[in-house]
Amino acid sequence: MKNTIEKALQKQAEEKQAELENAPGKAGVTPSPNSEESKEVMANTEDNAESQPSNAEAKHPKQALTETANYTQKPKYKLNFSQLEEKGFVSTTGQRKQINEEYREIKRKLLSNAFGPIAKTLHNSNVIMVTSGRPSEGKTFTAANLALSIASEQDKTVLLVDADVLKPNVLRTLGLERRKGLMEYLMGEVEEVADVLYPTNIDTLKIIPAGKFDHRTTELLASQRMHETIDEFANRYKDRVVIIDTPPLIGITESAVLANFAGQAVVVVEEGRSKLNDIKFSIERLNPEMAVGFVVNKSVDSNSLNGYYGYYYAERND
């Protein structure tokens, strides 16, 4: 199967070449997609669309070209930072908040697993699935905060994938509008994965929504197309972290399928609500070769006057 990113690159280069041929004052001029003139026109177009790649992505010209290729046709997802902070999300405006410090501690371990010595022992170590035993324990909130926190790194980029195709919640959690996403790509309604990979107003953060529901979700997520796409995201760009928001583990087969693609799992448990048997059963449904950690959500801090909701990350002890 031809590399999806390469196909997207070729497709967009051909479109840019056609635009150059039809542009006023350019009649009869057919520059190569790799020529300096073609690159300059593409760069100017992307500037006007406010789709400049991040500093981290600038290190990878092919990556920047690929993932900004469709941005002139796709508006950015614009996160409302002040509203997100009011809802308790990680601050992206430089404020030193407790939740920022907590997610810094969590992400440090995840990044160490993803890019440190242990990474050699994990398959797709930079692919992190965020899940829970039961619904409504805070997994999407945790996945979004991890993505926001990692996006603040100086040398990392983040792709947030909503793979909870049964009950997608990433866009609603972040206050964003629905668009075509992962399911349309897996069903073949969208030819290239780049067509459902959306930029945001954080240069280092991109989002793939879940898309529409289909009764074949398990089969589509277990497909070779999905397998090759995740492997490509994991291995093509060495500075990329992929955060996958997956369905709960208990009673849903899709999560067990997705666990085969990720090198790490973050299991969110709600203090005072999650049952020990549910946690044990959840772990049994994960790939035993994964690095697994836990985030205790809604842990009330007695030192806070308002009842602070905190987070704690710990590794599984085999």
pLDDT in tens, 81-95: 999 999 999 998 877
pLDDT of residue 9: 54
CA angle 143, 113, 125 (to 5 degrees): 75
Burial label for 63, CB within 10 Å (0-12, 13-18, 19+), is buried
How far is the C-alpha of 8 from the C-alpha of 192, rounded, in Å? 6
* Residue 189's pLDDT band (cuts 50, 70, 90): very high
- pLDDT of 15 > 80? The answer is no
Collect all residues with Cβ–Cβ distance below 8 Å to 98 and sequence separation of at least 6: 308, 310
How far is the C-alpha of 166 from the C-alpha of 215, rounded, in Å? 9
Structure tokens, 82: 């002040």
Residue 23 or 268, more confident: 268
* Residue 7's pLDDT band (cuts 50, 70, 90): low
SS3 for 247-268 is CCCCCCHHHHHHCCCCCEEEEE
Burial label for 276, CB within 10 Å (0-12, 13-18, 19+), is exposed
Residue 161 or 312, more confident: 161
How far is the C-alpha of 301 from the C-alpha of 117, rounded, in Å? 34
Q: Does residue 303 sit in helix, strand or coil?
A: coil
pLDDT of residue 236: 84
Q: Which of 60-64, 89-93, 233-237 has the lowest mean pLDDT?
A: 60-64
* Residue 16's pLDDT band (cuts 50, 70, 90): low
The amino acid that residue 166 corresponds to is L
pLDDT of residue 97: 87
How far is the C-alpha of 164 from the C-alpha of 211, rounded, in Å? 10
Q: Tell me how crowded residue 190 is: count the other CB atoms within 10 A of its CB.
A: 17
SS3 for 261-288 is CCCEEEEEEECCCCCHHHHHHHHHCCCC
Summarised one tens digit per residue, pLDDT across range 238-281 is 899 999 999 999 988 888 899 999 999 999 988 777 788 888 88
Laid out side by side, the sheet with 157-162 consists of 198-199, 205-208, 157-162, 240-245, 127-132, 264-270, 291-301, 308-315
